[in-house]
Homo-oligomer: A and B are copies of this chain.
Amino acid sequence: MSTDSNRKVVLASRPRGVPAPGDFRVETEALAPLADGQVRVDVSHLSIDAFIRTALETSGYHGSIPLGGTVVALGVGRVRESRAATLAAGDWVSGPLLAQSVATLPAAMLSRIDVQRAPATAYLGVLGLTTGLTAYVGVRRVGRVQAGETFVVSAAAGAVGSVAGQIAKQDGARVVGIAGGEAKSRFLTQQLGFDAAVDYKRDDVADQLRAAAPGGVDVYFDNVGGPLLDVVLDQIKLRARIVICGAISQYSGDMSRGVRGPALYLRLAERQSRMEGFAVTHFPEALAEGEAALAGWMREGRIRLPEHVVHGLESFGAALATLFTGGHTGKLLLAV
Binding site for B on A (CB under 8 A): 61, 225, 230, 238, 244-247, 250, 255, 257-279, 282
Contacts and interface: CB of A to CB of B under 8 A. Distances in A.
Given A255-B266, A266-B247, A272 B278 contact: yes
Contacts of A261: 230, 260-265
19 contacts: A244-B268, A250-B266, A258-B263, A258-B264, A258-B266, A259-B263, A259-B265, A261-B261, A261-B262, A267-B277, A268-B275, A268-B277, A269-B277, A270-B277, A270-B279, A272-B278, A272-B279, A272-B282, A274-B275
Contacts of A267: 277
B273 A277 contact: yes
A293 to B, nearest CB: 21
A258 B278 CA distance: 25
B244 A230 contact: no
A127 to B, nearest CB: 22
A274 to B, nearest CB: 4
Contacts of A265: 244, 259, 261-262, 265, 275, 277
Nearest to A244: B269
Contacts of A247: 266
A267 B247 CA distance: 11
Nearest to A269: B277
B266 A277 contact: yes
A269 B265 CA distance: 16
Contact of A260 (B225, B263, B271): B263
Contacts of A271: 277
A278 B268 CA distance: 7
